[in-house]
Structure 1
Amino acid sequence: MLGAKNFLITGRPGIGKTTAVLRVSEALKRLGVKVGGMISREERERGVRVGFILEDLMTGERGYLARVGAGLGPRVGKYTVLIDDLERVGVGAIERALREADVIIIDEIGPMELYSGKFVDATA
């Protein structure tokens, strides 16, 4: 991408990074900018975080990044990383955005995402 810029937003959990990214995304879309990529949101049951859901910003497709009690797979704390969903939704969203979007959002790159070689390759 000629003239590409990277913007990083950092901060403690729960301070509104994803909310800020979503607001910027919506504002850009209203201006006719094609926004793609992925975000991750907490999933809570009875006020307790039980997992993280990925969403493709272009298609709305969703899947799990990780979930408590999800069976076999890489673990980060109490969460099992769901590599198949990460690659189908997350990597798919990034690859689609690289082909089609004007602005690419990747909400988070952390220990869970780094268990996928395909994710690492897509974000390199």
Structure 2
Amino acid sequence: MSKHVFLTGPPGVGKTTLIQKVSQALKSSGISIDGFYTEEVREGGRRTGFDVVTLSGKRGPLSRVSSGSSTSRREYRVGQYVVDLVSFEQLVLPMLRNVSHGSDAEKTVCVIDEIGKMELFSQAFIQAVRQTLTGSGTVVLGTIPIPKGKPLDLVEEIRSRKDVKVFNVSKENRNSILQDILAAVESCRK
């Protein structure tokens, strides 16, 4: 019996777009849904970072391209990006704590896009995700990266959970997979 649904696939394949479409569809059918997705921030045609956008409309920086000059004492970096952990935690943690208070009768859907390297710098986030996955009142609809390089503990943990259904999103299936994901989320709520 699946309780949660995750999408995985290469960067840029359309996981966030699918999550947004599924969220709209669930919302319009009256299902209680909260969560966040990450959005590229572009300036002058190039990507300068990522923002966290909550489904309730709040947004804040997740990461920005490092200017190279700042060497703060505690810097979390992924490639050229410096992760703004404080901003990320302020937006995401209260939402995750609230969402897990759903009841079994009215399961809330919690969108977590994504559980990746940047997000996993936050121990509090890791803990909140684990609690949300084990809580009974919430269905998680999330995205996880494709394994490459050193495995990310939480990502592998999610991938191997028996109560998680993982969809592999590809350029070939991304336009036809929406109904399958919706159906999977619906059945998790039963």
Report the equivalent of 2:60.
63
Report the equivalent of 1:50.
48
Among 84, 87, 111, the residue aligned to 1:85: 87
Q: Check 1:10–1:4 CA distance in 2 against 1; reply closer, same or farther (3 A cut).
A: closer
The two structures, once aligned, show a CA RMSD in angstroms of 1.7
What amino acid maps onto 2:53 in structure 1? E
What amino acid maps onto 2:59 in structure 1? R
Please state whether the residue corresponding to 1:108 is helix, strand or coil: coil
Name the TM-score, length of structure 1 as normaliser.
Answer: 0.89
Report the equivalent of 2:187.
none
- Aligned mates of 2:32, 2:110 — CA distance in 1: 9
Please state whether the residue corresponding to 1:8 is helix, strand or coil: strand
Is residue 37–residue 96 contact of structure 1 (8 Å, CA) maintained in 2?
A: no
Report the equivalent of 1:121.
127
Please state whether the residue corresponding to 1:7 is helix, strand or coil: strand
Name the TM-score, length of structure 2 as normaliser.
Answer: 0.59
Is residue 11–residue 17 contact of structure 1 (8 Å, CA) maintained in 2?
A: yes
Cα shift readout 1:8-46 (whole Å, capped 9, x = no counterpart): 101111111101111110111111001111111111111
Report the equivalent of 1:109.
115
Q: Identity percentage over the alignment?
A: 40
Among 2, 5, 8, the residue aligned to 1:7: 5
- Aligned mates of 1:77, 1:95 — CA distance in 2: 30
Is residue 94–residue 106 contact of structure 1 (8 Å, CA) maintained in 2?
A: no
Aligned residue pairs total 121
- 1:119 deviates by 0.6
- 1:4 deviates by 6.7
Matched, 1:22 2:14: no
- Aligned mates of 2:27, 2:34 — CA distance in 1: 10
What amino acid maps onto 1:39 in structure 2? Y
Cα shift readout 1:67-92 (whole Å, capped 9, x = no counterpart): 11374321111100101011001222
Among 65, 72, 78, the residue aligned to 1:76: 78
